[in-house]
């Protein structure tokens, strides 16, 4: 309800109710100002005193803090600036029971708030009065200045009107004539420009023929700019279309020039092309076209090279077949013409083939030459791309001075800056695009080259290649992989995989053929020495030149100290040679390993056996004859020469080829090394079975020989019935990996098997066999530390160490086994035992003369010494070999002496003294002759003879101590002839010895 209705309701209320009168004290009135409608809910209205004194309503002064509190109680609606209806707002807050005193209290509160706000506003106005006065002064000053400006304008307008009145019509006519003249000159210039545009085509063709591409593009852009200026002329509008066609034609010629640069890079030409594309603002298009031409050129070059060899071989084959089919000259000429005509059909069919199909028609005879040409062609493409990349890097490093200089020199004042030079905003993006394109292009181009080479390799069957030719293929592939690694850091996995597949197939067949070839070598080996120089090493063989000879172009480039020198050496365009030019030069190198023939055997042919017997003095071994002294010097010089057989050299050469294959093809290096060990094992096995089995071998050597038989020796069941061929030795991939490649056992040549072991030929053959084996193992041991670690993968290092450890362990057993048959042949054991058995050892008196078998032994030893002297005069006899020969012979002699002394049925003390006399006489002659002190086995024989004098207790101790040095038969025979020991004691000792056996 409104305020009137509220007042009416208040008057009509009954007044008979008693109401408690409110307090009229000032405190009560002050508190009533803060009453609200809620204070009167459910209560009677307070009736104010009708006659309040005016003093009660006088304002009480408040402090600043109290004023702030009152201002804070003001509702936000009173501070709004959009003229709110505060009256309605206050009426809505009235309580339902209306009391005039409440209304007065609320009104008093609102008045007090208004008074405080008004006072506060007044204070603020007073505080800002000084600033207000200052602003008013400024306003007055601005008014005065505005008045002055208006006066100045009025004065200026008056002056302008005076000047306007003073101009005449003559002056305006002069100005009009001048403007007309300028317009005429402009028309004439336009006509000249139109005439120049009409002759642009002729000048443009001249520039393009002269390869002045930037000038041509600059001229076109200027003409287009001029044509756009005069496009309102009808002739110029037709010319604009013609200029656009000319521009497209120029871009085609630029594209053709890019294709030529890819084939033969020229820095000046490429700089012009780059400038031209920069003027066209198409540097990115240049990169795209460049890579497109590179990809196309890789395919076209590979196809054309392979196509050339296929057509060449096809035409030669048809020409040969036509010549063979026709006997007469006229018929042959006509057939040649027919064959030439017939060549068109296959050549046309070849052109339609895919590259992968075409590669299958490459004959194996021209495969290597085609592969070399492919490598040269691909390397030329890579070299050109490297040169382009270097040009861009150099231009980027120097902020493209050549391009900028050329563009600035060709630009003219009339050219449009938006057409001549690319904007700065896009230059950074274009440069980053070019750099990324060049970097990514490295790997992409190498992948294309690698794909062509891989297809070419896998399309042919290389398993029937010669070993040297296949090594050349591996060498070329290795150089290609090195080039790829330097070109883009690629490991050339595809190329490695392709050559690995071909290598596995080739090496399986080749290794089987080499084993068969080695088998044939050993069966026909005469075991004669090959005269080598004293300074011989495997590095002098052609097969090992790759270990020390550096490729003049590749190695120099890859071993350079700085990357810049490396790139200059390999990728320099000025270099006339490629990494593939040295392939044919290596095969022309000659090796110098043979010692000169000085006729060293002449003195031996001119001397007889009597003269040789006087060479050595029996007492001091000094040279007595002057002529023989010279012969002794030659013999001493001979002893320093290395000893090798033909088969040993063949194995060394084959090992060198295997090592080269390991170097060129790392993925199968472990398998190749296993095959290399098979060559060494087969040679060792053949020497032992040919020369060593008759003399007996040690247990350790027997185990090794049995292992070799299980791994590489084939059953000799039908070997004699039908000779094996190389096809019989074909083995699979698993065969190589599991080390099961096998070959037949080599049988000794009749030249060797029919010769006595103690003859000059027999001793020389065994000497050559043993020393060549030692030489082979020595050279391999040198390679073990210097070469093999770089060729073998880490997983094969353990197998390599195990092989050389076993080899070093068994070699000391091989030499005695081979030379022991010589000693067995020199000393006829059965005959010597029979002679000694015929001697009566049960004598009763001391003898001063030795028995006859001693002289027989001395003669045998002297004969053996003369044999060694003859061998020395014809071939080198190392001191260690001579010592081994004498040692094994003397050991065989002492074994025969033990058998002979043990064969005695009875013996007396005098007979035992005679044994000592015989043995002392023998040793006195034998020690100067063989040069061994003490003689090997001397302690055994002397101990055996002297043990006869031992009493029973000492004898038992002696038998226990030496039971491993003598066999049971010897000990039983010794005890049986000891008559000074009781018979029952002898029987007990004999029974003990036999039971231990």
Query: What is residue 647's predicted lDDT score, i.e. its pLDDT?
Result: 92
Per-residue pLDDT, 405: 43
Rounded CA separation 419/10 (Å): 95
Residues 6 or more apart whose CB falls under 8 angstroms from that of 586 comprise 542, 545, 549
Q: Which pair of structure tokens corresponds to residue 165?
A: 């009145």
Cα distance between residue 400 and residue 213, in whole Å: 17
Q: What is the pLDDT of residues 680-689, one digit of tens each?
A: 999 999 998 8
| Backbone φ and ψ of 462, nearest 5° | -95, 10
- Rounded CA gap, 143 and 138, in Å? 9
Q: Where are the alpha helices (DSSP H) in 489-562?
A: 493-523, 554-558
Structure tokens at 607: 């001397």
CA distance 735 to 496: 22
8 A C-beta contact, residue 810 and residue 704: yes
Report whether pLDDT(285) > 70: yes
Interhelix angle 493-523/424-459, rounded to 10 degrees, is 30
How far apart CA 158 and CA 167 sit, in angstroms, is 15
Instruction: Please state whether 467 falls in left (phi above 0), alpha (psi between -120 and 50) or beta.
Output: alpha
The lowest-confidence range among 11-15, 515-519, 586-590, 988-992 is 11-15
- Greatest mean pLDDT range, 18-27, 156-165, 421-430, 514-523: 514-523
Cα 825–chain centre separation: 58
Instruction: Say how far apart CA 750 and CA 457 lie, in whole Å.
Output: 46
Question: Which residue do the tokens 């059953």 mark?
Answer: 715
> What number of H helices and E strands is found in the chain?
43, 0
pLDDT tens digits for range 33-80: 444 545 444 433 333 333 444 444 455 677 878 888 888 888 888 888
- Per-residue model confidence (pLDDT) at position 631: 54
Joined tokens for residue 110: 């609102």
Q: What is the CA radius of gyration of the chain?
A: 60
Top-confidence range, 146-150, 198-202, 422-426, 907-911: 146-150
The SS3 of residue 281 is coil
Give dist(CA 867, CA 762) in Å, integer.
10
Whole-angstrom distance, CA of residue 342 vs CA of residue 26? 141
Tell me what pLDDT residue 148 has. 93
Residue of 515, 520, 528 lying closest to 751 (CA atoms): 528
What percent of the chain clears pLDDT 90, i.e. is strictly above it?
10
Close Cβ partners of 84 (under 8 Å, ≥ 6 residues apart): 77, 78
Q: Between 522 and 623, where is the model more confident?
A: 522
Sign of CA dihedral 253, 255, 260, 261: positive
Among the listed residues 668, 599, 588, the one whose alpha carbon sits nearest the alpha carbon of residue 630 = 599
Confirm if 540 and 592 have CB atoms less than 8 A apart. Answer: yes
Angle, vertex CA 383, rays to CA 380 and CA 386, nearest 5 = 155
| CA–CA dist 988, 997 (Å, integer) | 14
Task: Quote the CA–CA distance of 583 and 476 in Å, as a whole number.
Answer: 8
Q: In this predicted model, what pLDDT tens digit does every residue of 205-260 receive, in sequence order?
A: 777 777 777 777 777 777 767 666 666 566 666 666 676 777 777 778 888 888 88
Three-state SS for 566? helix
Alpha carbons 6 and 96: distance in angstroms, whole number? 9
3-state secondary structure of 463: coil
Cis peptide before 636 (omega within 30 of 0): no
pLDDT above 90 (res 727): no
Q: Above 90 in pLDDT, residue 652?
A: yes
User: Do the Cβ atoms of 309 and 450 come closer than 8 Å?
Assistant: no
Residue 920: predicted pLDDT: 92
Q: What is the 3-state secondary structure (H, E, C) of 880-943?
A: HHHHHHHHHHHHHHHHHHHHHHHCCCCCCHHHHHHHHHHHHHHHHHHHHHHCCCCCCCHHHHHH
Give the distance from CA 971 to its chain's centroid: 69
CA atoms of 287 and 280, how far apart (whole Å): 14
| End-to-end CA, the chain | 146
Over residues 54-63, the pLDDT tens digits come to 444 455 677 8
pLDDT band at 649; cut points 50, 70, 90: very high
Cβ(876)–Cβ(642) under 8 Å? yes
Whole-model pTM: value is: 0.63
């Amino acid at each position: 309800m409104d305020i009137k209705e509220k007042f009416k309701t208040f008057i009509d209320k009954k007044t008979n109710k008693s109401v408690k009168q409110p307090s009229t004290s000032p405190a009560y009135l002050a508190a009533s100002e803060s009453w609200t409608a809620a204070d009167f809910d459910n209560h009677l209205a307070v009736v104010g005193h009708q006659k309040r004194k005016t003093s009660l309503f006088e304002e009480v002064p408040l402090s600043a803090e109290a004023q702030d509190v009152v201002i804070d109680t003001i509702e936000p609606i009173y501070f709004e600036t959009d003229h709110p209806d505060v009256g309605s707002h206050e009426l809505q807050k009235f309580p339902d029971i209306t009391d005039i005193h409440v209304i007065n209290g609320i009104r008093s509160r609102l008045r007090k708030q208004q008074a405080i706000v008004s006072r506060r506003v007044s204070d603020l106005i007073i505080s800002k009065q000084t600033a207000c006065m200052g602003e008013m002064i400024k306003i007055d000053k601005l008014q005065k200045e505005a008045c002055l400006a208006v006066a100045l304008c009025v004065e200026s307008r008056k002056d302008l009107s005076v000047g306007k009145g003073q101009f005449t019509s003559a002056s305006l006519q002069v100005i009009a004539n001048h403007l007309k003249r300028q317009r005429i000159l402009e028309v004439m210039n336009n006509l000249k420009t139109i005439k120049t545009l009409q002759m642009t085509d002729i000048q443009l063709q001249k520039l393009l023929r002269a390869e002045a591409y930037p000038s041509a593009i600059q001229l076109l852009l200027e003409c287009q700019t001029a044509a756009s200026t005069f496009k309102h002329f009808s002739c110029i509008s037709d010319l604009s279309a013609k200029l656009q066609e000319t521009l497209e034609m120029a871009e085609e010629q630029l594209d053709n020039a890019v294709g030529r640069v890819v084939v033969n890079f020229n820095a000046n030409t490429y700089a012009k092309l780059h400038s031209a594309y920069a003027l066209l603002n198409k540097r990115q298009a240049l990169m795209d076209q460049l890579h497109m031409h590179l990809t196309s050129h890789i395919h076209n070059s590979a196809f054309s090279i392979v196509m050339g060899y296929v057509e060449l071989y096809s035409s030669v084959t048809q020409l040969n077949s036509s010549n063979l089919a026709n006997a007469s000259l006229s018929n042959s000429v006509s057939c040649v013409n027919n064959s030439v005509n017939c060549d068109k059909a296959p050549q046309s069919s070849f052109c339609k083939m895919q590259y992968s199909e075409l590669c299958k028609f490459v004959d194996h005879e021209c495969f290597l030459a085609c592969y070399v040409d492919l490598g040269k062609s691909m390397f030329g493409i890579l070299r050109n791309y490297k040169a382009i990349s270097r040009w861009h890097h150099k231009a980027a490093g120097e902020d493209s001075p050549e391009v900028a200089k050329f563009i600035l020199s060709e630009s003219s004042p009339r050219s449009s800056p938006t057409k001549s030079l690319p904007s700065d905003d896009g230059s950074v993006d274009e440069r980053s695009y070019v750099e990324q394109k060049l970097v990514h292009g490295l790997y992409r181009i190498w992948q294309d080259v690698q794909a062509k080479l891989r297809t070419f390799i896998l399309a042919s069957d290389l398993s029937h290649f010669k070993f040297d030719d296949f090594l050349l293929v591996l060498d070329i592939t290795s150089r290609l992989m090195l080039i790829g690694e330097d070109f883009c850091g690629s490991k050339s996995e595809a190329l490695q995989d392709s050559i690995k597949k071909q290598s596995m197939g080739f090496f399986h067949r080749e290794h089987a053929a080499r084993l068969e070839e080695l088998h044939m070598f050993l069966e026909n080996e005469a075991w004669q020495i090959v005269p080598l120089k004293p300074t011989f090493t495997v590095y002098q063989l052609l097969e090992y030149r790759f270990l020390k000879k550096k490729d003049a172009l590749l190695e120099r480039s890859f071993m350079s100290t700085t990357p810049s020198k490396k790139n200059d050496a390999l990728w320099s365009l000025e270099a006339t040679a490629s990494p593939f030019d040295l392939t044919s030069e290596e095969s022309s190198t000659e090796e110098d390993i043979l010692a000169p023939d000085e006729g060293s055997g002449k003195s031996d042919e001119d001397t007889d056996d009597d003269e040789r017997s006087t060479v050595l003095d029996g007492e001091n071994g000094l040279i007595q004859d002057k002529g023989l002294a010279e012969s002794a010097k030659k013999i001493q010089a001979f002893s320093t020469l290395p000893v090798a057989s033909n088969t040993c050299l063949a194995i060394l050469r084959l090992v060198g080829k295997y090592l080269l294959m390991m170097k060129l093809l790392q993925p199968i290096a472990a398998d190749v090394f296993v095959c290399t060990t098979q060559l060494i094992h087969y040679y060792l096995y053949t020497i032992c079975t040919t020369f060593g089995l008759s003399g007996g071998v040690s247990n350790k050597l027997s185990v090794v020989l049995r292992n070799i038989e299980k791994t590489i020796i084939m059953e000799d069941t039908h070997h004699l019935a039908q000779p094996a061929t190389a096809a019989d030795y074909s083995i699979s991939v698993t065969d190589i990996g599991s080390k099961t490649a096998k070959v037949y056992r080599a049988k000794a040549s009749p030249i060797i098997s029919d010769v006595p072991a103690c003859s000059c030929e027999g001793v020389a053959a065994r000497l050559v066999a043993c020393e060549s084996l030692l030489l082979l193992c020595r050279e391999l041991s040198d390679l073990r530390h210097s070469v093999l670690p770089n060729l073998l993968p880490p997983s094969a290092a353990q197998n390599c160490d195990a092989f050389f450890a076993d080899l070093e362990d068994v070699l000391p057993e091989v030499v005695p086994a081979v030379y022991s048959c010589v000693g067995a042949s020199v000393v006829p054991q059965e005959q010597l035992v029979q002679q000694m058995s015929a001697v009566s050892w049960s004598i009763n008196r001391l003898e001063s003369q030795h028995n006859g078998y001693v002289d027989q032994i001395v003669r045998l030893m002297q004969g053996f010494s003369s044999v060694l002297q003859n061998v020395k005069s014809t071939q080198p006899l190392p001191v260690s070999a001579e010592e081994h020969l004498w040692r094994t012979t003397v050991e065989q002699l002492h074994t025969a002496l033990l058998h002979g002394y043990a064969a005695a049925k009875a013996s007396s003390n005098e007979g035992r003294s005679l044994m000592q006399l015989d043995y002392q006489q023998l040793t006195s002659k034998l020690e100067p002759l063989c040069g061994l002190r003490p003689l090997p086995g001397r302690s055994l024989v002397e101990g055996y003879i002297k043990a006869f004098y031992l009493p029973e207790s000492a004898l038992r101790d002696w038998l226990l101590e030496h039971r491993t040095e003598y066999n049971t038969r010897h000990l039983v025979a010794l005890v049986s002839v000891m008559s000074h020991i009781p018979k029952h004691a002898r029987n007990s000792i004999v029974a003990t010895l036999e039971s231990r056996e």
